[in-house]
Amino acid sequence: MKWKKILIIGIFLLLFSIGLGDYLLTLNYNEIVLKPYQSTTISQAEVLANGPIRAQSIAGTLVEGTNTYSVISGPAVLINNNTKPISLVVIPNNLLLEIDYLLILISFGMILLSALLLFYNKVTKKR
């Protein structure tokens, strides 16, 4: 019976944290359009681009992915070397978002724990 309570709490916590994360993202994200050969400076944020851009770190740590860039510490310059404009979505690093990610992980852990308890109850009742 405990697994049902854990499952219900885990599902409600997951729904709450997804809603909270969506609200925090709508408050914090910025959309920037870089014209051809224009640059911008970003510090401590996640950046999503709709095309390839050139990124260079000034004094911090920059992690490049496929059209995603993580500016971990210090400023970084993002340069549009294309002949067409590119839009960037900038999500600043925020402590509340980190807490929200932790809540999502905890809720998944609770759902997994309830599934394990259900499995344990089913196995022990067969004996």
Placement of tokens 């067969």 in the chain: 126
Domain residues of the chain, as ranges? Answer: 2-126
Topology of 2-126 in CATH? Jelly Rolls (2.60.120)
Summarize pLDDT for 1-51 with one digit per residue, the tens: 688 999 999 999 999 999 999 999 889 888 989 899 898 888 888 888 887
Placement of tokens 């051809």 in the chain: 36
β-partners of residue 63 are: 70
Per-residue pLDDT band at 61 (split at 50, 70, 90): low
Q: d(Cα 126, Cα 28) in Å, to the nearest integer?
A: 52
Q: d(Cα 65, Cα 113) in Å, to the nearest integer?
A: 34
Within 10 A of 60 (CB to CB), how many other CB atoms are there? 13
